[in-house]
Structure 1
Amino acid sequence: MQRVRNSDLITETIPIRTYLLTIHVPFQPIAPRTVRLASDWARSLRLLRDSFGGQFHRFIVAAPAIPVDADWAEQKPVEFSCAAEGFEFVRLCQAGLRTRRFWPQAPAVYRRCRTLAAEATVVHTGMSDLFRPIGFLGFLAAYRAGVPTVFVEDNDVIAESDQMNADRHRWRWWFYSRMRSRLTRWVVARADLSLLKGPLLNARFSRFAKNARDFHDTSHSEVWVMPDAEVENKVDALPQSCTLRCVSVGRLISRKGLDESFCAIAAARRLGVPAELDVIGQGPDRTRLETMVRKLELGPFVKFLGGREYGKALIDELSQYHLMLFTSRFEETPRALFDAVAAAVPIAGYATAYVRSVIESESCGVLAPIGDAAGLAAQIRRLWDDRRMLIGLTRNAAGAGRRHAAERWYQRRAEWVNQIIASSGGQRSLPVGGEL
């Protein structure tokens, strides 16, 4: 703290600490100090704020804005009071712009990022989309201003692009993914802190990074994890269960692989397992998926429950299930893996790199080769026949839920961020009593 004498007036000053996020995740302004956000994003922002324990005076989110009269295609949004929550939202551009409409606005987006970065203590960015590189423009503005940077890469978009577009615009996507890889290498070599999620991203980029850390992006609270006594009640009831209750959580889009979950359930039933599947989520593929359920004659055994707001109620709802299915063929890093274990629900999934790393490190599920629905059905049958194995996986899942609670991961991240700020030295100041 500094003291400045001006004639007979002594003004005390305190350091201003501003956390700036430049990010592609949109917000929807609905009143001067109120926005709508996806419920899981609202949860993430609160966790970020709380992890610093009041060390930052301002949290600014610079992002695309959804028009006030537009519908949300994703999960049901929640209202977020900027004043009550301690956040400011800055519109960078309209959400959902096509590439040819974004780039004429890119210089203005960069100028806004540069203005905001000039007043920031740290800038948090990512790299989601080269066609509309909002996160990269934010990083570039912060890097040129000499502000400490946090770069977050939580999905292997390069492997994902290769997989999803192998037969469609192949050369275009090959070029895109290689350019993205080179740009990410450039960023991690300069970012003060790079958070890389999962084994593939760490293998791909950590050797180029100035300061890389592995992390998991969890959102469940430690107090949401099923208590030990309830876990024991759950496993005590497993030997008497007449139905294997399975669940899937996520957007209803083709890349999530729900088709293969249905095939696995159908195959498991043919093997004599009384398996049922509830689907939590919404999306454009619901009609197609419902048609597939009817064709597989699974109508009585598969239910579509619609979307849910993210929170403790979702974890409590998940806790009634015995198994969660993940059958995407693509390299993803689903947060729902940890929502499952928080609810003491083991996982049955395809052996993509991230899913395999979580299941093997935590002993909380079973794996099948990617695309092998029959193999997954055989694993489901194995669990049904060996209840002791299912009981062990259920207990392990609850333990993993506690170890990976969001508070623990966000606290680690806060410590890493404070280290890079301390290393950078400077902080801006504001008179005590001044408006933050």
Structure 2
Amino acid sequence: MYLILTCQPYQLHGNQVYLTADRARQLRLLRNSLDGKFGQLTLLAPSVVDGSESALHADCDAGRLQAFNPANEEIRVEPVLQHILPNSPGHWKNILQSFTQSACVLQPEINSAADAVIADGIFQSTGVSHPIVLVHSDASSGDHHSRSRTALLRDRLTHRRCRRSCERLAKRSELSLFSSESSMRQYSKYARNSRIFCEPSISNDDVISEADLLKRLCCDTPSLPLRLVSHAPLENKYGVNLSIAIIRYARNFGANVSLDIYGQGFQRSELQYQIAKLGLTREVRFQQHASNATESLQQQRQYDAMLLTPVIDCDLQPFLSCYSSGLPMLGFDHSCFAKQIAADSAGIILPQHDLQRCGQQIAELELHRGQLIEISLSARQAACRHSRESWYAKRAEWTLDAIPRFPRTSLPDVLPSAASAQQHDPALSGLPT
């Protein structure tokens, strides 16, 4: 049995389970990648009973929730508490004593400082010695400007306790999966076996086919401009004005190039004045985002490459969105960008402090379209390597390497029923303990 321990609740309406779309997708990908090698996949999470049917339908219609049938999915969903969230290590200690009698692997999820109660519950459960796969995500910093000094001090203490619990849990875990390089740097020195595991935003179905990409590239002729696209807020600190200047330099070198900018912000009128002053009103345009994901994907596939601004050093997710459409990246010599481009061979590194040279390099790319074909195909291949399915296949491989065999295989893969567990364990009754 593979047990996922989380404080993120799911919703119940009658006997029907409702999960967020992200959670349902994660469970299916994990189930498929592990392929039953550690027994049945089981989610232990707080359940929230929603009595408002209209609100539930509204959440489903908006895509925030979706009905989930555990029996059809062959994924078990069990409530660790009903109506209230588990808020003490004692809750999780009792839960683990009830749900770890059969052989299993534990996957504690730490998504915020409050989730440290899961780690503390594991430490208090002296009888629990199962292999652990820690999944750690960076907590959102949030807006602290309006917080009182007492509240800030309390939050700081909570985060310090969480950090210490995560350090202990990383030492105890057979495999530690971190969502970012920052959390990897913070905890890898305590972990026996650490990996970066980002939750990808694209699936194999989102990636443009090679035939469609080649068709788009072969349709390009010298009479068509090199079509660049940029996504950035229209604010001073993001440097959209620098991207516009680069297009002017590229055209000065004879390049047939255009730029469409997607973004909102108070700097728009100032940027429109700059565009007019540089004589680029036909070549540089502001565009509106499509209303849904399908239209957005088709919109993105109209372009030849993504142009970052010299100020932005983006993480992996914007890369994946572009890669899925076969768009190479034109970015600047920031360390993270250079590292990613070197790994994927799917872009061009521009000098951050020499806009004229940037324009010259774009002009050279427009003149030698064969290079564009090469890096566009590399971008598509990188998208396939970084798809959800590929990342979960890597994760399964890491897990099997860390836990080579299912422990205590002689025991049956059976969970106690919710009814019997609640009769014997006050922590599962839905009442405070």
Q: In the alignment, which of 332, 335, 345 is matched to residue 363 of structure 1?
A: 345
Instruction: Please show how residues 16-415 of structure 1 align to structure 2 within 5 Å.
Output: 17=1, 19-23=2-6, 25=8, 27-30=10-13, 32-38=15-21, 40-55=22-37, 56-62=39-45, 69=55, 76-83=63-70, 84-90=72-78, 105-106=87-88, 110=92, 113-114=95-96, 117-118=99-100, 121-130=104-113, 132-133=114-115, 136-142=116-122, 144=125, 145-155=128-138, 181-197=163-179, 199-218=181-200, 220-222=202-204, 224-240=206-222, 241-242=224-225, 244-246=227-229, 248=231, 260=238, 262-263=240-241, 265-268=243-246, 270-271=248-249, 272=251, 273-278=257-262, 289-294=264-269, 296-297=271-272, 301-306=286-291, 308=293, 318-324=300-306, 333-348=315-330, 355-366=337-348, 379=358, 382-383=361-362, 385-387=364-366, 388=368, 389-415=371-397
Within 2, Cα distance between the matches of 1:365 and 1:66? 49
Q: For the Cα contact (< 8 Å) 2:174–2:193, is it kept in 1?
A: yes
Distance of 1:430 and 1:180 partners within structure 2 = 32
How far the C-alpha of 1:193 sits from its partner, in A, is 0.7
% identical aligned pairs: 19
Question: Take 1:407 and 1:265, find their aligned partners in 2: how far apart are those partners?
Answer: 35
Whether the 8 Å contact between 2:247 and 2:359 is mirrored in structure 1 is no
Secondary structure of the structure 1 residue equivalent to 2:268: helix
**Counterpart for residue 285 of structure 1:** none
Q: Which amino acid aligns with 2:288?
A: K
- In our comparison, the structure showing a higher alpha carbon Rg is 2
Q: Report the CA distance between 1:322 and its aligned residue.
A: 2.9
In structure 1, the residue matched to 2:254 is: none
> C-alpha separation between the residues in 2 aligned to 1:334 and 1:93?
36
TM-score after normalising by structure 1 = 0.67
Post-superposition CA distance 1:89-114 (Å, at most 9, x none): 4566899xxxxx989x4357535753
Judging by fraction of residues, say which structure has more strand.
1
In the aligned structure 2, how far is the partner of 1:414 from the partner of 1:63?
Answer: 26
From the superposition, tell whether residues 376 and 340 of structure 1 become closer, same or farther in structure 2 (CA, over 3 Å): farther
Q: Which amino acid aligns with 2:75?
A: F
Task: Tell me by how many angstroms 1:393 deviates.
Answer: 2.5
Shift of 1:295: 5.0
Equivalent residue letter for 1:277: I
**Aligned equivalent of 1:8:** none
- 1 CA distance for matches of 2:179 and 2:335? 11
1:35 Cα shift?
1.0
Q: CA RMSD in A?
A: 4.8
Structure 2 runs not aligned, ≥5 long: 252-256, 276-283, 419-433
Q: Is the 8 A contact 1:265 1:377 kept in 2?
A: no
CA distance in 2, matches of 1:51, 1:322: 34
SS in structure 1 at match of 2:229: strand
Map Cα deviations across residues 339-358 of structure 1 (whole Å, 9 max, x no partner): 43232122345777655432
Q: Name the SS of the counterpart of 2:261 in structure 1.
A: strand
Contact 1:220 1:342 in 2 (8 A): yes
Q: Deviations over 1:327-370 (max 9, x none)?
A: 7989985434324323212234577765543223112234579x
Equivalent position of 1:5 in the other structure = none
Query: For structure 1, which segment, 390-399 or 289-298, has the greater mean C-alpha deviation from structure 2 after superposition?
Result: 289-298
Normalized against structure 2, the TM-score is what? 0.67
Secondary structure of the residue aligned to 1:296 is helix
The residue type equivalent to 1:86 in the other structure is: E
Q: Which amino acid aligns with 1:260?
A: Y
User: Shift of the alpha carbon at 1:209?
Assistant: 1.2
Please, which moves more after superposition, 169-178 or 217-226?
A: 169-178
